Chains A and B, each alone.
Chain A
Amino acid sequence: MAAKYGGRLRRFLKSRLSNASDVPDLAQEVFLRLMRAPNHEDIRSPEAYLFTVASHVVHQHHQKQFTAPVSLETIEGFAGRHLASGDDPTARTELLERMAHLERTLDQLPPRVARSLILHRLGGHSIAEIASDLGVAEITVKKYLARALLHCRTVGEGISP
């Protein structure tokens, strides 16, 4: 379940935030909008809300002449538009690069942290399943994964565009 959601999340972030880096004050603008959000305690998933607001800021930044109002949508609304076909050579090259990057990252991580990340992200296993496979508590797996995530970001710097 976590992995299925991960795939959708990836497509969403790729398509909506792919040129986020050329929006210089993205975080600032998203922050202001979050502060202005009325009844923020009613927001069902603040994470989905964050991604939606961020994607709108990116979208509006790239609009040239108008700032057309944009309706709010959830992650699910955008997902699934681009169905990546398995035989797409560009996607395959990109996947190979991402795989190489992952392997470099894994090699630098403690073995159990690496295993947790593989089982979670590539294997699509739940935290509970990984905890039982590794013989550790679920909270430990979460710590491993958070640690791995931090490291991915460091290794990724200067590699991914």
Chain B
Amino acid sequence: MNRIAVVAVGHLLFVGTACPSSTPRDFPLQHSEATAPAFVCGPQRCVQDYPRTPDDSDWSCAGMAGSVVCLGGTQAAGVAAASANPRWRCGDVVSRPRGEHRVCVDLEPDFPPGGAPAWKCHFQNELPMRRICDRSADHHVLGDACSATSPCVDGADCQGGRCVAPSGNPFCWVDGDCEKNAVCRFGGCLLRKVNP
């Protein structure tokens, strides 16, 4: 990844004589996906107003080991349709009325510089939604190195030495959406570990 340096304007001001110039060159602009809403950062906390959501509806979201899990469902009224955003994996919450409660997971959400390992994020779900990230050095996230002696967070699998979320579309939001002996992690139900 490229290093990003913020350089004062003055440091880059033109000085000296330019190379005898050839012709200027015009570049038609090409556009790509909209950038992530910016984080506004202090030393220990970054805040992202209007964070990404699975679609234009009202959502409640939570951070989970470097991923984002959101619950919503009712289509936003009076908003023109947009294509589904492929970054989100979505499914109906099986224990609730179909179409009314959808759960979506983003395994690679936006983070301030340093990425998921450096920040622990949560959501302020009252509108307008806001994502708040606090510096944290001692939490585990998807993508962490793992081994037999260094397990992943609950619900993640250790594959090729890295913690990954289970594949498949999510179908639970809270533990109550799962069977009695299971908990909800990354949108999937995970059997509780039974202590010997």
Do A and B come together as binding partners?
Answer: no
Binding site for A on B (CB under 8 A): none
